[in-house]
Amino acid sequence: MTASVYLAAVGPEGLAQVARLCAGHAHYLAEKLAELGFAPMSGKPFFNEFLTSCPVDAHQLVNRLAEHGILAGLPTHDGILWCATELNTRAEIDRVVSVVKEVCDR
């Protein structure tokens, strides 16, 4: 029922805008992370989730982000799975990237 109410509330235009925001934020994040050496793994189109390699210790990175109050990145066996949605703003994404840069610079 929750899903029905949500879909009725956002309607076709709202859902499309949600999708644009998700895709936009995720691709923006991916681009900024790539600049830091987090290379995209699949090379295929993605929507709001993407797997990258991880030039630093993934668990340490995730913990450092958690210390900043950021829940970001799920370590996998060969990289990190990132996600950005319509709920994340550009400013928040920039903050994630700056913390990641800080960890990489160490």
Partner 1 sequence: MKLLFERSVAGRKQTIFPDLDVPEATFDETLIRQSAPRLPQMAEVDLGRHYTELAKQTHGVNDGFYPLGSCTMKYNPRVNEQVAALPGFADIHPLQPEETVQGCLGAMHELEGMLAEICGMDAMTLQPAAGAHGEYTGLLLIRAHHLANGDTGRTKIIVPDSAHGTNPASAVMAGFTVVSVPSDAQGGVDLDALRAAVGPDTAGLMLTNPNTLGLFDPNIVEICQIIHEAGGLCYYDGANLNAVMGHARPGDMGFDCVHVNLHKTFSTPHGGGGPGSGPVGCKAFLAPYLPNPRVVERPDGTLAFSCDEQSVGKVRSFYGNFLVAVRALAYILTLGREGIPEASASAVLNANYLAHFLSEAGYVLPYGERCMHEFVIDVGPLKAETGVSAMDVAKRLLDFGVHPPTMYFPLIVHEALMAEPTETESRETLDEFVGLMTGILKEAHEDGERLHSAPFTCPIGRPDEVKAARKPHVRYEFDEEG
Count the residues of the shown chain that bind partner 1, applying the rule CB under 8 A: 33
Cα 92 to Cα 86: distance, rounded to the nearest angstrom:
12
Closest distance between partner 1 and the C-beta of residue 72, in Å?
A: 11
> Does residue 17 belong to the site contacting partner 1 (CB under 8 A)?
yes
Find the binder of partner 1 among 3, 42, 43, 71 (CB under 8 A): 71
Q: In what order do the strands lie in the sheet with 74-75?
A: 49-52, 80-83, 74-75
Beta strands at 80-83 and 74-75: parallel, antiparallel or unpaired: antiparallel
| 39, 74, 99, 104: which one binds partner 1 (CB under 8 A) | 74
